[in-house]
Structure 1
Amino acid sequence: MYLIPIAWLYVAILVAVSEDTVVAGVLTFVFWGIAPLALFMWIFGTPARRRRQREREREALDRNDRAETGPDQ
Structure 2
Amino acid sequence: MYLVVIAWLYVTVLMAVAEATAINGTVLGAIVTFVLYGLLPMSIVIYILGTPGRKRALRAREQAAAAQADQAMHAAQAADAPASARQPDAGGHAPATAEDGVVAPVRKEP
Q: CA deviation at 1:28?
A: 0.4
Residue 14 of structure 2 corresponds to residue 14 of structure 1 = yes
Distance in 1, matches of 2:67 and 2:12, equals 46
CA RMSD of aligned residues (A): 1.4
- TM-score, with structure 1 as normaliser: 0.94
Number of equivalenced pairs: 73
Aligned position for 1:2: 2
Distance in 1, matches of 2:27 and 2:48, equals 30
Letter in 1 for 2:11: V
- SS of the residue 2:48 aligns to: helix
Deviation above 4 Å: which 4+ runs of structure 1? none
Residue 44 of structure 2 corresponds to residue 39 of structure 1 = yes
Per-residue displacement from partner, 1:2-23 (whole Å, max 9, x unpaired)?
1011001000100011111100
Identical residues among aligned pairs (%) = 44
Instruction: Specify which structure has the bigger relative contact order, considering alpha-carbon pairs within 8 angstroms and separated by 6 or more residues.
Output: 1
Residue 54 of structure 2 corresponds to residue 49 of structure 1 = yes
